[in-house]
Amino acid sequence: MAVALAQSSTDRRKTKYPVIDGDIHPTLTSPRALDKYFLDDEWRTYHQTIGGRGFTGTSVPRTYPNAARVDSYPPNGRPSGSDLDFMRMQLLDAWDFEYGILQPLLGAASMRNQEYGAALSSAINEWQIAEWLEPEDRLRSGLAIPYENGPLSVKEIERRGSYPGFVQLLMAMRTSEPLGRPKYWPIYEAAEAMGIPLGIHVGGQGGVPITGSGQPSYYIEDHTGQSTAFQTQVASFIFEGIFERFPKLKIVLIEGGFGWAPSLCWRMDAAWSKLRGEVPKLRRKPSEYFAEHFWLTTQPMEEPPVPHQFVQMLEQAPWLQKKLMFATDYPHWDFDAPDQCLPDTELPAGFEEALMCGNARALYGLEPREKAAVAVAAG
Amino acid sequence: MTVYPVAPQVPGGLNFGQPVIDTDIHCAVPSPRALFPYLTDQWREYITTSAFKGPNDTPYPGGAATSALAGTKPEDGPPGSSLKLIQEQVLDAWNVEIGILNPSYSVDSISAPDTAAAMAAAVNDWLINDWLAKDSRLRATMVIPTRVPEMAAAEIDRVGDHPGIVQVMLPAVAQSPYGQRRWWPVFEAIERHNLVASLQFGGASGFPMTPAGWPSHYVEEYVDMAALFQSHLLSIISEGVLDKFPALRLSMIESGWSWLPGFFWRFDKVWKGLRRETPWVRELPSEYIKDRMRFSLQPLDLPDDPVIVQQIFEQLDSDSLLMFSTDYPHWHFDTPEGALPVGLTDAQRSRILYDNAASFYGFGRYAR
């Protein structure tokens, strides 16, 4: 093992700090790989016969199959992201990750049959435990929940939420209603009671187009548009008074970028200063709720054309320094490498360490590990 | 006790010592009867017998503090319906050389196509006769029956050459993203008449205006409108509209603009990774925007911090994008000085007040 680690590391400039990767996508080895994890035969049969039925009408060639990096297909012929050993070699060992947080994007909550979505969520969670979390101590994950149905979500949280490898609830950002709306409150109540953050990843399907004016034509619009959708979800959480109702709730926004954070705060504060009578639940400026309750993963990293503008952004929203968490988005095409993702400019003291590991350790309660640098030193 | 902030008195205006172009003055149709001179007997009769009060979907709730400054409501109509008040409170108060009227009349919310076309034509004739003919400082944004683009193009052909009509209203909440081909007949007509395509705050398409459905509150809808403008810019660039119509220019009215730097970074970066999907997009998206689009100044959505203001200008990499606006009768600033960002250089101030809009629309010494 040490030898393999050293070999895979020799072609990489090592990172200065331990790395926690907030966004890794494990995939199924085959479409039938979940069958054995269904908790009962009835839903297993449904899964094998009818299967997933989500929201349709958004087919477009998406440039890269399964959004995968071309070098991410394991030599054994399995799908990109489906082989733990290859993931260790290409990712976890290559940069000597301290931890990696999985985000299986299997769409359980986007099922129109919500009871099937709940059964699928349970199967996904059992699969995660058996095939990823038990075999690999560095991995953590999110608990899949059928989040369009509050009571069924709470049931799954009660069933499996206390498994120690689950460090957040797994949600996607494209929902049927804005996420501050009351239908989602049972989830927030349960999350707050357990002290577990919500991890909201880009994508998903809620049956609503990704623009406020219907479905766009191209993948680039959908991909870039995810950050517009995040902005409206943040506004919904804040203006619905979610953080007055659930003051300990913590939310991680995954893969939505963060260059929009300063201007969204300015706009929310300006609007609230004049319209706050409509939302009397709020007792503080919207930007203060944002700064306190939201964390954001870094991939896709913001890349201003002039690197020091990245620092300007941090000056405009200083709280970002405590809230940004590194992520790779492995094995997707827009992968960020930990030794290459930061702008080439002088960053605030302590920021890089906070981003690479400190903020994630604090949020998820992850114990620092001795940096397994033996092999690197040997290499 | 719930605090409902109350809109202050309309600020008195400032003399900047130079001419000003106000790119966002909202005028309002005072009553359905005001349009009767511009409707046929058939429509007058139908409106009367059906008691149709006009489109009742407004992006600006009547009682919301942001919708109207105190003192802007004439006795006999809604704020923005009196030429006299607009002359006093905007054109004279701010030393306005040219002011662009943006009618707040939701033709786009009317679902019956012939009704929408008739009302759009009536509003445009009302703009021409009741406003443009009465004050040479005024220009106007024409409205169109957006749900049937061919009918919209016909209306642009009908009045688009009037010298006072400078642009065509495209409400932000639309039937589909504005780059899509259904809109190309509209852009073709806009380009044919050398007009500007003007995306404006509001709209009532019948569809939810966020990517996750209908928000609960007006304050959310207000905030979310900026994200919707971003969606349209993604569409307009990605669909190749600006290559297909090389003379087309677009104004973004009441969109906010402090979100532009982050949007530029994101869109430019993703374009680098995905540009083979849309190979007709030949330069960085931010370059198209800087070349072909302009933004009205209000709302500022910026802190009163000169360092941040200059950071934003540096990130925009342009002093040409912003055009002064009062957004009358809406409430964004409390004092006349609040109409401009703090800490502008003299050159930035002068460009925002006049040159950026004048060169974009071809006004004054920039006449084409």
Q: Say whether B261 and A309 touch across the interface (CB within 8 A).
A: yes
Q: Say whether B172 and A178 touch across the interface (CB within 8 A).
A: no
Considering chain A, what is the average pLDDT of its residues?
A: 93
pLDDT of residue B152: 98
Residues 6+ apart with CB under 8 A from A349: none
- Comparing CA positions, the residue from B74, B69, B71 lying closest to residue B7 is B69
**Which residue in the set A181, A208, A264 is minimally distant from B211, CB to CB?**
A208
Q: Say whether B218 and A278 touch across the interface (CB within 8 A).
A: yes
Per-residue model confidence as pLDDT tens digits over A118-176: 999 999 999 999 999 999 999 999 999 999 999 999 999 999 999 999 999 999 999 99
CATH topology of domain A2-378: TIM Barrel (3.20.20)
Per-residue model confidence as pLDDT tens digits over B350-366: 999 999 999 999 998 89
Per-residue model confidence as pLDDT tens digits over B167-186: 999 999 999 999 999 999 99
pLDDT of residue A6: 39
Q: Is the pLDDT of residue A3 over 50?
A: no
Mean pLDDT of A310-316: 98
Task: Tell me which chain A residue has its CA closest to the CA of residue B300.
Answer: A267
Per-residue model confidence as pLDDT tens digits over B285-315: 999 999 999 999 999 999 999 999 999 999 9
Per-residue model confidence as pLDDT tens digits over B330-346: 999 999 999 999 999 99
Mean pLDDT of B20-42: 96
Q: Are strands A198-201 and B322-323 parallel, antiparallel or unpaired?
A: unpaired
Is residue A271 within 8 Å of A316, Cβ to Cβ? no
Q: Say whether A263 and B262 touch across the interface (CB within 8 A).
A: yes
Q: Say whether A211 and B211 touch across the interface (CB within 8 A).
A: yes
> What angle in degrees, to the nearest 10, is found between the helix axes of A114-128 and A150-160?
20
Is residue A117 within 8 Å of A149, Cβ to Cβ? yes
CA distance A281 to B8: 24
ipTM above 0.90, yes or no: yes
Other C-beta atoms lying within 10 Å of the C-beta of residue A227: 27
> Chain centroid to CA A376: how far?
29
- Comparing CA positions, the residue from A178, A180, A179, A171 lying closest to residue A282 is A180
Q: Is the pLDDT of residue A376 over 50?
A: no
Residues 6+ apart with CB under 8 A from A291: A265, A317, A319, A323
What is the nearest CA distance from B86 to chain A, expressed in angstroms?
Answer: 23
Burial annotation A78-117 (CB, 10 A radius, 16+ → b, else e):
ebbbbbbebbbbbbbbbbbbbbbbbbbbbbbbbbebbebb
Q: Say whether B210 and A277 touch across the interface (CB within 8 A).
A: no
Per-residue model confidence as pLDDT tens digits over A166-210: 999 999 999 999 999 999 999 999 999 999 999 999 999 999 999
DSSP per residue, B56-113 = ---SS-TTSGGG--BT---TTS-TT--HHHHIIIIIITTTEEEEEE-----GGG--SH
**Which residue in the set A233, A270, A274 is minimally distant from B212, CB to CB?**
A233
Q: What's the one-letter identity of residue B97? A: E
Confidence of residue A15 (pLDDT cuts 50, 70, 90): confident
Per-residue model confidence as pLDDT tens digits over A212-255: 999 999 999 999 999 999 999 999 999 999 999 999 999 999 99
Per-residue model confidence as pLDDT tens digits over B227-251: 999 999 999 999 999 999 999 999 9
Number of H helices, E strands in chain A: 14, 8
Q: Say whether B216 and A223 touch across the interface (CB within 8 A).
A: no
Confidence of residue A358 (pLDDT cuts 50, 70, 90): very high
Mutation target vs A (from B199, B216, B254, B313; most A CBs, 10 A cutoff)? B216
What is the nearest CA distance from B191 to chain A, expressed in angstroms?
Answer: 23
pLDDT of residue A13: 53
Other C-beta atoms lying within 10 Å of the C-beta of residue B355: 20
CA distance B181 to A217: 10
Contacts by residues A285-291 (CB-CB < 8 Å, ≥ 24 positions apart): A286/A235, A286/A238, A286/A239, A289/A237, A289/A238, A289/A243, A290/A234, A290/A238, A290/A261, A290/A264, A290/A265, A291/A265, A291/A317, A291/A319, A291/A323
Q: What's the one-letter identity of residue A93? A: D
What is the nearest CA distance from A204 to chain B, expressed in angstroms?
Answer: 11
Evaluated on CA atoms A29, A31, A32, A38, the torsion sign reads: positive
Residues 6+ apart with CB under 8 A from A1: none
CA distance A169 to A193: 13
Q: State phi, psi for B219 to the nearest 5 degrees.
A: -60, -35
- Comparing CA positions, the residue from A221, A320, A237 lying closest to residue A279 is A237
Confidence of residue A371 (pLDDT cuts 50, 70, 90): low
**Which residue in the set B220, B231, B278 is minimally distant from A225, CB to CB?**
B231
Mutation target vs A (from B1, B201, B220; most A CBs, 10 A cutoff)? B220
Q: Say whether A176 and B239 touch across the interface (CB within 8 A).
A: no
- For residue A50, the SS3 value is coil
Q: What angle do CA A343, A348, A349 make, to 5 degrees?
A: 125
Q: Say whether B208 and A212 touch across the interface (CB within 8 A).
A: yes
Task: Work out the end-to-end distance of chain A between its first and last CA atoms, rounded to an integer number of angstroms.
Answer: 13
CA distance A81 to A102: 11
- Partners of B209 on chain A (C-beta within 8 Å) are 212-213
Could you give the maximum distance between any two Cα atoms of chain A, in Å? 64
Query: Scanning the structure block, which residue is given the tokens 């260790």?
Result: A88
CATH topology of domain B20-366: TIM Barrel (3.20.20)
Mutation target vs B (from A183, A202, A274, A303; most B CBs, 10 A cutoff)? A274
Q: Say whether A212 and B228 touch across the interface (CB within 8 A).
A: yes
